[in-house]
Amino acid sequence: MSSLSLAVRDANTMLRRNLLHARRYPSLTLNLLLTPIVLLLLFVYIFGDVMSAGMGGGHADRSAYLAYLVPGILMMTIGGTVVGAAVSVSTDMAEGIVARFRTMAIHRGSVIIGHVVGSVLQSVASVVLVGAVAVAIGFRSTDATALEWLAALGLVALVALALTWIAVGMGMVSPNAEAASNNALPLIVLPLISSAFVPLDAMPGWFRPIAEYQPFTPAIETLRGLLLGSEIGNNGWLALGWCVGLSVLGYLWTKAVFNRDPK
């Protein structure tokens, strides 16, 4: 077999190991799913009237706010799910099994690839699940074309990949699970201070740059545009740039740490 097909085979083995972990111990993934679902219900059913009145100029329309909110919640779901990748990578690296992998004649990076692909698949599945909840409480995206749907799915996968690489890097440098989930906190906090809940122009002027110049806002605005037909503008390119940049950064970071001699 060529070295590429060996690499694919080993990575596939590691992916199956990763998915087996996720299937055997779903509590971590389910816990991480809880946050976006609770926030979705909270903002729609408890704060919904105030939020929609605030945005609609005093006129309360809860379904309009629901439509605004869902793309943000979906991106937030990705941020939350990849925290699981940070945790499982740091736990894995502390285990003897990875030392064993390093002394075997296998594709060296396969264990990392298994984590990355596993995390992307889990993120996309989580987005679909949270999306289903949103549809169940009245979210509709009927105006979107099939192509826009496909683009939305691609965007979700791309954001998942970018955030996963960053999370894996965070997991690599974290000595244990607690440290990993602390280090990955920005992935949960950043969507809270993006345009997920309120539009940028509704924010205080001093805060606006913080919300504007971060990866979640362009990604959310692009998804919003694809699903609801709102103006995308530069946001598509910005989101793409962020994704590529974060992926490359996370990849190089992870590679550097992984190739370091283990203690």
Partner 1 sequence: MTATRTTAPSTTRTTAPVIAATGLRKSYGDKLVLDGIDLSVPQGTVFSLLGPNGAGKTTVVKILSSLVSADAGTVRVAGHDLAADPQAVRAAIGVTGQFSAVDGLITGEENMLLMADLHHLSRREGRRITAELLDRFDLKDAAKKPAATYSGGMKRRLDIAMTLVGGPRIIFLDEPTTGLDPRSRHTMWGIIRELVSGGVTVFLTTQYLEEADQLADRIAVLSDGRIAAEGSADELKRLVPGGHIRLRFTDPSAYRSAAVALREATFPRTAHPARAGGSLDDEALALQIPSDGSQRELRSLLDWLDSAGIEADELTVHTPDLDDVFFALTGGGAVPHQAEEATR
Using CB under 8 A as the criterion, which residues of the chain lie in contact with partner 1 when the complex forms? 1, 6, 9-10, 13, 16-17, 20-21, 24-25, 95-97, 99-106, 261-263
* Residue 106 neighbours by CB under 8 Å, 6+ apart: 6, 10
Give whichever of 9 and 62 is closer to partner 1, judged by the CB atom.
Answer: 9
- At its nearest, how many Å lie between partner 1 and the CB of residue 126? 20
Q: Count other Cβ atoms within 10 Å, centred on residue 55.
A: 17
* Residue 34 neighbours by CB under 8 Å, 6+ apart: none
- The 3-state DSSP class for residue 137 equals coil
Measured CA to CA, the distance from residue 247 to residue 241 in angstroms comes to 10
Contact present, 51 and 198 (Cβ < 8 Å): yes
Contact present, 167 and 249 (Cβ < 8 Å): no
- At its nearest, how many Å lie between partner 1 and the CB of residue 100? 4
- At its nearest, how many Å lie between partner 1 and the CB of residue 103? 4
Give whichever of 106 and 192 is closer to partner 1, judged by the CB atom.
Answer: 106
Contact present, 55 and 43 (Cβ < 8 Å): no
Contact present, 187 and 82 (Cβ < 8 Å): yes
Give whichever of 94 and 173 is closer to partner 1, judged by the CB atom.
Answer: 94
- At its nearest, how many Å lie between partner 1 and the CB of residue 20? 6
Give whichever of 99 and 135 is closer to partner 1, judged by the CB atom.
Answer: 99
- At its nearest, how many Å lie between partner 1 and the CB of residue 220? 34
Give whichever of 58 and 262 is closer to partner 1, judged by the CB atom.
Answer: 262
